[in-house]
Structure 1
Amino acid sequence: MWNAADLPVSSPFLRCVIVYLCDSAPADIDNIIKPIQDALVGLVFEDDFLVSDVDSHRRFLADPIDVTSLPPLLQAGVAKGEECVYVRICDAQQPEELLMTISTQTLRDRKMDALAATYAKEGYLVLKEPAAGELPFDLNGYRPDLIAKKDDGGLIIEVRAGALPGSVDRVQYLAQEISKHPGWRFLLATVADADPSIVPTTADDLPTWRQLADKLTQARALAGNGAVEPALLYLWGIFEAALRKRAIAENIPVERLPPAMLLNHMYSQGEVSIAQHDLFREFMTIRNRMAHGANTTVDSVHVATLLNETEELVADWAAAKAV
């Protein structure tokens, strides 16, 4: 977020990203670019000549908008429901980076082929883009990308190229409906999925809520003994396990997603607050730097705050499961 105390940027090759959330009588999208850039001169950058790339988007507030992969500030704009403009200034991409981008459709096709091969190897009968008559039960017109059958159950699989561009409510409804059929489960996959060989994807792969509470006690003991860095690394595993358990419990089919996407989706579903989202995003950044060997300062007060927030979430979610 831009800080009023910051000096205007003077480096060339900037990228301006504009998202116009509009009502029923919007301005033309090309007519708002120049006034916005002019307004930023002397505040964000020294001259609008420094902007070499522009991405401009218009979306109607009356239409469904999936906020799960949006930045928190843009999510807040959608939630408020009033006409507004989101602007982001960042470094422009090099031309060769743009030209070398693999099409999302190609990535999606590769993901489908990889999933089909994986489940076939595990003994499933895999149907790719099944016809209506090949569905195991009525899905109210929904056509999955893959079906993997084994014994009396299996998986209904949807594959997406991006980080859930559609409605999370829709896929949650599908997951709930499919779970009514014994032995069947809905699986949402994206090209950015975490490695399923190391990421738990079922409730049986994860600790119980009681076990997570015990692990939190151990993390607090580590922090209390001055071992704040080990405490933080251990705490991240507890927090991520809790997120994945909650997603599974609420039939939110995002348990395969990498941590950053998973956290965004759980925020979009109201499972974590915006303050918690921002806190845990910062937590994730520190944890990642430590895990990759960076020399990182860990504040004991910060760790205590993370422990308190994680304990609160685990307690709330465990209590909800018990109801």
Structure 2
Amino acid sequence: MAIPTANLERERLLKLAEEYRQKGYEVFFHPNLEDLPDFLKTYRPDMIVRRGEENVVIQVKSRSSLNSSSNQYLSNLAQAVERHPGWRFELVMTNPEDTTYSLKAEGSLQEHEIESQLQVAKQLITQHPKLALLSSWSLVEATLRLLAQKEELSLERFDPRYLINQLVSEGVISKSEYQLLMNLLPLRNSIAHGFKTTELTQNSVYELIELTEQLLRTLHTGDEAD
């Protein structure tokens, strides 16, 4: 039986809240009006998390719950948040049927395809940095799946946040690699879902491509000794 969309969104939000608490954030789950800064008084974000000078406004949505009205609301909320230093907006999509893949699925990109498409992504950076980032992100995800397959990891799902967290916890990727990916994930989400962003730089895309190339090289680590 299908799980109602609202339940899926709430479950994802609860998991996010626990993840942020474990990282030392103060979590405001469905914050009250008094917990909101003045520029957010007209909104009702799902969650706000705070740590030091960092403030994150989080909204969890399923694709099936998106429509023209909700898209406009999310766009206005994202723009309101982006205008304030120290604040960022994170839209988290939850849709298990879209994010569950088999490691051995024929449709998943293989190493030679990733390498070839990385060259195309490089050509996009100067004139089309957003497209370059989206393309590069899809390639790094494909690479991470190859790494998980090589290490024979048992994974429940393949949404990027879960995948990245599992790989760093297993020591497959380093903490610095983890941090770069997690820093770019909200940016990738904003662009992928049609939100404006002023944070994207060409250097960010170059860093993501370089990381992907580095991770591809690790696929062969130890092969010489076999």
Name the TM tier (shorter chain): 0.5 to 0.7
Partner of 2:140: 239
Distance 1:218 1:305, change over 3 A: same
Return the alpha-carbon distance in structure 2 between the equivalents of residues 72 and 270 of structure 1. 22
Amino acid in structure 1 at the alignment position of 2:117: K
Return the alpha-carbon distance in structure 2 between the equivalents of residues 242 and 284 of structure 1. 15
Partner of 2:185: 284
Return the alpha-carbon distance in structure 2 between the equivalents of residues 220 and 202 of structure 1. 27
5 Å-filtered alignment, 1:12-91, equals 70=19, 74=23, 87-91=24-28
Return the alpha-carbon distance in structure 2 between the equivalents of residues 88 and 200 of structure 1. 31
Amino acid in structure 2 at the alignment position of 1:236: W
Return the alpha-carbon distance in structure 2 between the equivalents of residues 275 and 72 of structure 1. 21
Q: Percent identity?
A: 23
Amino acid in structure 2 at the alignment position of 1:241: A
Distance 1:264 1:309, change over 3 A: same
Distance 1:226 1:72, change over 3 A: farther
Distance 1:207 1:257, change over 3 A: closer
Residue among 207, 220, 231 paired with 2:122:
220
Equivalent residue pairs, number? 146
Residue ranges of structure 2 left out of the alignment (5+ in a row): 1-17, 33-92
Distance 1:197 1:290, change over 3 A: closer
SS in 1 for 2:27: strand
Partner of 1:127: none
Deviation at 1:88, TM superposition (A): 3.4
SS in 1 for 2:127: coil
Return the alpha-carbon distance in structure 2 between the equivalents of residues 91 and 277 of structure 1. 25
Partner of 1:99: none
| Higher RCO (CA < 8 A, seq sep 6+) | 2
1:205 aligns with 2:142: no
Return the alpha-carbon distance in structure 2 between the equivalents of residues 222 and 242 of structure 1. 20
Asked if the contact 1:202–1:248 (Cα under 8 Å) also holds between the matched residues in 2, the reply is: yes
Return the alpha-carbon distance in structure 2 between the equivalents of residues 295 and 251 of structure 1. 38
Return the alpha-carbon distance in structure 2 between the equivalents of residues 197 and 221 of structure 1. 29
Asked if the contact 2:21–2:27 (Cα under 8 Å) also holds between the matched residues in 1, the reply is: no
Q: Structure 1 or 2: larger helix share?
A: 2
Asked if the contact 1:266–1:272 (Cα under 8 Å) also holds between the matched residues in 2, the reply is: yes
5 Å-filtered alignment, 1:125-140, equals none
Deviation at 1:253, TM superposition (A): 1.5
Asked if the contact 1:222–1:228 (Cα under 8 Å) also holds between the matched residues in 2, the reply is: yes
Asked if the contact 1:194–1:256 (Cα under 8 Å) also holds between the matched residues in 2, the reply is: no
Q: Structure 1 or 2: larger strand share?
A: 1
Deviation at 1:233, TM superposition (A): 0.4
SS in 2 for 1:205: coil
List 4+ stretches of structure 1 deviating above 6 A. none
TM-score normalised by L of structure 2:
0.56
Q: Which has the larger radius of gyration?
A: 1
Residue ranges of structure 1 left out of the alignment (5+ in a row): 1-68, 75-86, 96-191
Asked if the contact 2:177–2:211 (Cα under 8 Å) also holds between the matched residues in 1, the reply is: yes
TM-score normalised by L of structure 1:
0.40
1:253 aligns with 2:154: yes
